[in-house]
Structure 1
């Protein structure tokens, strides 16, 4: 509903904002001014996002590329 799973980059992308979101920050992102999702719903969505398989959970796990062949479609 709120996030798209980019399986090439192993990231979650906010469908509306077009930014990568780390699962630990998803609830805060959804409660923010762009979405204004209530706390309980935001946490539920964040919990679902953290349960996704093959997704980078934290920025420290993300291998930043030195070169990108093509743009990330969701961003």
Structure 2
């Protein structure tokens, strides 16, 4: 796995652990802000990492609002 993808995963988990529930678009913005001092993450890569974390049961989509993500792990 690419080192940058691991950094994006870590940033997503760090933010979601603090927020517990967060809108998808705000999460993408916060991940970009958090990582911009190291590198500028590609939005499509952030989306893929979010989907990967959902598949690995770190996150899930809110049952009532698909735009909201919920931290599980």
TM-score range, shorter chain: 0.3 to 0.5
**Which structure: larger Rg?**
1
Q: TM-score, normalised by structure 1?
A: 0.38
Q: TM-score, normalised by structure 2?
A: 0.39
> Which of the pair is proportionally richer in helix?
2
Greater RCO structure (CA 8 Å; 6+ sep): 2
